[in-house]
């Protein structure tokens, strides 16, 4: 079964997934999003808007706790449907540092990894650790042969994480902002 996404894209519904609700990623812990995290998530996004706005269409000046609650509710629903598996990233010694997720929107044999890290927590290796921890989880799922990261060609930070984690560039495609997205992959 496939689910239609905006713009005619389709997401595969993956059955038989066995994704943990918590993943230990060394300096960070990945936790399935829950509604009580909404206030902290909104604060992280608002803090990071100058860095997020060029690359993340949902990152707008109006982002608030209600926006975070909507995202978390959608994340819970998508997890149940088997189309997205989103995690909050918490530092072992502190609060929320970012978000990472696995999405089925690129097709039935691939899980796309999407991520962001709050501005005050960049440069600490958190995202690299999270991608390294979630990639084998993605590749262990039934029918998954590729993990992919799609990022704007101008987003050097996202590119650096993907490269550090061994993702090889496989394509460049136009994006919705008249720019170019780079797709990088690791295979099982």
Residue 8: its pLDDT value, please?
38
Residue 176: its pLDDT value, please?
84
Q: State yes or no: pLDDT of 12 exceeds 80.
A: no
Model confidence over 115-157: pLDDT tens digits?
A: 999 999 999 999 999 999 999 999 999 999 999 999 999 999 9
Q: What is the pTM of this model?
A: 0.90
Any domain includes 46: yes
Any domain includes 80: yes
Q: State yes or no: pLDDT of 5 exceeds 50.
A: no
Dist CA 152 CA 44 (whole Å): 21
What is the layout of strands, in order, in the sheet containing 84-91? 22-25, 28-32, 84-91, 96-103, 110-117, 146-152, 180-187, 168-174
Residue 177: its pLDDT value, please?
80
Any domain includes 29: yes
Any domain includes 72: yes
Residue 51: CATH number of its domain: 3.40.630.30
In the chain, how many domains are there? 1
Model confidence over 122-131: pLDDT tens digits?
A: 999 999 999 9
Any domain includes 125: yes
Where in the sequence is the domain holding 104, given as residue range(s)? 2-149
């Amino acid at each position: 079964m496939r689910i239609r996404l905006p713009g005619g894209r389709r997401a595969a519904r993956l059955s038989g997934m066995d994704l943990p609700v918590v993943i230990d990623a060394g300096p960070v812990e990945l936790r399935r999003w829950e509604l009580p995290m909404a206030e902290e998530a909104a604060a992280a996004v608002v803090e990071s808007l100058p860095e997020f706005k060029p690359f993340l269409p949902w990152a707008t000046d109006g982002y608030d706790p209600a926006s975070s609650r909507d995202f978390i509710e959608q994340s819970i629903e998508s997890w149940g449907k088997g189309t997205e598996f989103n995690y909050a990233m918490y530092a072992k010694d502190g609060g929320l540092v970012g978000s990472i997720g696995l999405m089925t929107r690129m097709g039935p044999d691939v899980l796309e990894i999407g991520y962001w890290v709050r501005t005050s927590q960049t440069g600490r290796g958190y995202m690299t650790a999270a991608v390294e921890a979630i990639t084998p989880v993605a590749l262990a799922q039934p029918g998954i042969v590729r993990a992919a990261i799609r990022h704007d060609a101008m987003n050097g930070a996202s590119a650096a994480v993907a490269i550090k984690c061994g993702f090889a560039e496989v394509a460049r495609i136009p994006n919705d902002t008249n720019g170019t997205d780079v797709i990088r992959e690791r295979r099982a």
